[in-house]
Amino acid sequence: MPLVDALNTHKDAVLVTHWRAKMLLRHYDLAMPFWLVDEHGWKLELEDRTLEFVFTPYAHFPGAFVTYDHASKVMFSSDLFGGLTKEFCLFAKDTSYLEAMKPFHQHYMPSNEILQFAVTEMERYPMKMIAPQHGSIIPQPLIQTCIDYLKGLDCGLYMLLGRESDIQKLSRFNETLKKITRTMMVCRDFKEIAQGLLDIISGEIEATSLSFHVRDAQNQVLYFHSRNRYRGVSYEMPEVISTWLDNPQSNDQPYVFAHDKTHDKHYIFVPLNAQHGLHDEESSINTVVQIELAQKQPSEPHLKRLLEQMMLPLQVAIEREMIFRDMDKKREEIYARAIRDPLTGLFTRVYMQDMMQTLLEQDDRNKNKNISAVMMDIDHFKRVNDTYGHPQGDIVLKKIAACLLENCRSGDIPVRFGGEEFITFCTGTAEHNSNRFAERLRASIESLSWPYPMTEEAITASFGVALRIDYESLDDLIQRTDDALYQAKRGGRNRVITADDQQEHQHR
């Protein structure tokens, strides 16, 4: 390159390349300027033809691209479609060239996904010949055969994002995907998984929320959203959701855009097909992913590539959660008689269901409503587990449960609702008394002292309170209480929020 640079006498001469090559060549201190394909729309207009550069990242180096000549319809494919042949042959003669391509690509290409992406990008062009820099030229009759063969090769790793050439963004995307994979392997909490997936998506298309509409094995439709902390609540389906869930063959679009004119919000709806675990019929659609956008619809090619990459993590995440939910249901059936939580000594959810059903029926016959619910969630409990380990987390749960039992009356029903969540049903008391109980408990927890190594920690909790309204079901009472708790969390934590008893509860 320095010799070519020294011999050059043309003032308008440039080095046509990509940012990755420039990063290396600039150290030669060449006089000729660089003309970067990724800064010029991936095209070079010449006097008699147009050269189009097709970005094929990591095949087989980070900034790889191939060149298509629109005039001759020849694809100059660099290392792609190259072969290791014993003897020189200018043109590939027959399918025996496939065996020459196999070891070349398996050793040089970092992954099957990357290879498939590169070959598919090239396949969009009407090619009369493929001219690799190694091996033989591939004539038109063999082109499709070679393409199909390369798509099926098992090369290894993992493709990230389409034509994105920002190495830092790709690195962040890759690290987040690995975190999601690790979380799925070791963590039961669907909230963390869903938030991680949202972080990936929002980094690319400015999404503000991610939710799931799921039909379970009992044919019940559940809604998972941050507002219900991805716990999944039953609800009445919007029409755009029922189009897929009720009539899976009626819509074969990979996604649709929707605009809520009332609230001026934009959404993307993506159907997911069940492959295993939930249904026997692979063609059935049991999940629709809903992505809320911060602005109007993003560019179509970019969105398509993003969703192609996110489809599998989204599907695995929700199927995994539904399998866990099924396991939880079976476990509750097996331990239906175990009314006490072994760690905290509080009542279990199974006991809560049985006992509260009886109490609610009694309350329906009583004109003076006297059942209220107080839900509590330990603030930043994940930080305790991450910092001090799960044994210390168990100490926190047991000590706060003991504090709860100490503040309860004999007629109250304190329940470990799940994880770091507790709910207490107070009977024979007005709402303001339940508020005082919640505030007294909040202050007691805040004043607790903790043994080493948590001596400097100040553990707090947030509370939601709701008085049961006429003929309200247990699920609806819990949901209103949970909504109040959610507002306490959003309002800064370590506080008590009361639900509006007159406001009709709506499932979000």
Q: What is the pLDDT of residue 381?
A: 92
What's the CATH architecture for 41-151? 4-Layer Sandwich (3.60)
CA 101 to chain CA centroid, Å, is 36
> Bigger pLDDT: 102 or 473?
473
Residue ranges covered by each domain of the chain: 41-151, 167-333, 349-498
In this structure, the chain runs to a length of 508
At 347-356, the pLDDT tens digits run: 988 889 888 9
Three-state DSSP state, 463: strand
CB distance 104 to 83 below 8 Å: yes
Q: What is the pLDDT of residue 497?
A: 94
User: pTM to 2 decimals?
Assistant: 0.42
Three-state DSSP state, 34: strand
Q: The domain 349-498 is classified under which CATH number: 3.40.50.300, 3.30.70.270, 1.20.120.350, 1.10.3720.10?
A: 3.30.70.270
At 197-252, the pLDDT tens digits run: 888 788 778 889 999 998 887 788 889 998 888 888 888 777 767 776 666 555 56
Q: What is the pLDDT of residue 294?
A: 82
Question: Which pLDDT band, with edges at 50, 70 and 90, does 325 fall under?
Answer: confident
How many Å apart are CA 480 and CA 431, to the nearest integer? 14
Q: The domain 167-333 is classified under which CATH number: 3.30.1490.270, 3.40.640.10, 3.40.50.200, 3.30.450.40?
A: 3.30.450.40
496-498 vs 461-467, strand pairing mode: parallel
Q: What is the pLDDT of residue 172?
A: 57
First to last CA, the chain: 64
pLDDT at 282 over 60: no
Number of H helices, E strands in the chain: 14, 19
Tell which residue, 124, 125, 128, has the closest CA to residue 141: 128
The pLDDT mean for the chain works out to 83
Q: What is the pLDDT of residue 186?
A: 66
Amino acid in the structure at residue 468:
R
Q: What is the pLDDT of residue 239?
A: 73
In 276-357, DSSP assigns E strands to 285-293
Q: What is the pLDDT of residue 275?
A: 45
At 157-174, the pLDDT tens digits run: 334 455 555 544 554 565
At 360-403, the pLDDT tens digits run: 988 888 767 688 999 999 999 999 999 999 999 999 999 999 99
Averaged pLDDT, 175-195: 72
